[in-house]
Amino acid sequence: MKEEFLELLERDKEFRYAVAGKLGLEEILRRLDRHEEHLTKLREDMVVGFRRHDEISAKLEAQLVKLREDMVEGFKRYDEILARHEAELVKLREDLVAGFRRHDEEIARLRADMMEGFNLLRRHLEALGARWSILAEEAFREG
């Protein structure tokens, strides 16, 4: 009987459906429908979630673009400040070189004046020495 039953299931389509109905195929179909509804709801939730994430990503991207623009603007500002400082440093170096040159000239002039003064002093001392020699000789003679 078992073999006949299985053979009938294979051959007779209507018999197969009748058996499926008795076995609860309708319940299975209802459950499949519920699962399909659940899957549809999950898909809708997923689409909403992706949309929300897309909005968040778009906001973050806009913030990144703004941050990059701010950084570029800041770098330009600092480049301008650095250029001004560099120009000031060049001027300062030029002023220092000019100042050292003036000081070198002044020191050379002072040295020349000192040398002239020493030469004058030497001549006066030599003249004084010559005079003392004469005075000393006269004093020796008188003595």
Contact between residue 19 and residue 9 where contact means Cβ atoms under 8 Å apart: yes
The tally of CA atoms less than 13 A away on the side-chain side of residue 103 is 6
For range 8-21, the mean pLDDT? 84
What is residue 59's predicted lDDT score, i.e. its pLDDT?
Answer: 97
What is residue 22's predicted lDDT score, i.e. its pLDDT?
Answer: 79
Task: Enter the tokens of residue 61.
Answer: 């991207």
- Unique residue bearing structure tokens 């319940």: 27
What is residue 74's predicted lDDT score, i.e. its pLDDT?
Answer: 96
Q: What is the DSSP string of 34-58?
A: HHHHHHHHHHHHHHHHHHHHHHHHH
Q: For 18-70, what is each residue's pLDDT tens digit?
A: 887 777 776 776 777 889 999 999 999 999 999 999 999 999 999 999 999 99
Contact between residue 22 and residue 16 where contact means Cβ atoms under 8 Å apart: no
Kindly indicate the confidence band of residue 87, based on its pLDDT and cuts at 50, 70 and 90: very high
pTM for the model: 0.44
**More confident: 136 or 4:** 4
The string over 96-119, giving b where at least 16 C-beta atoms fall within 10 Å of a residue's C-beta and e elsewhere, is eeeeeeeeeeeeeeeeeeeeeeee
| Average pLDDT across the chain, whole number | 90
Distance CA 104, CA 107 (A): 5
Calculate what percentage of the chain has a pLDDT beyond 90.
62
For range 104-121, the mean pLDDT? 95
Distance CA 47, CA 49 (A): 5
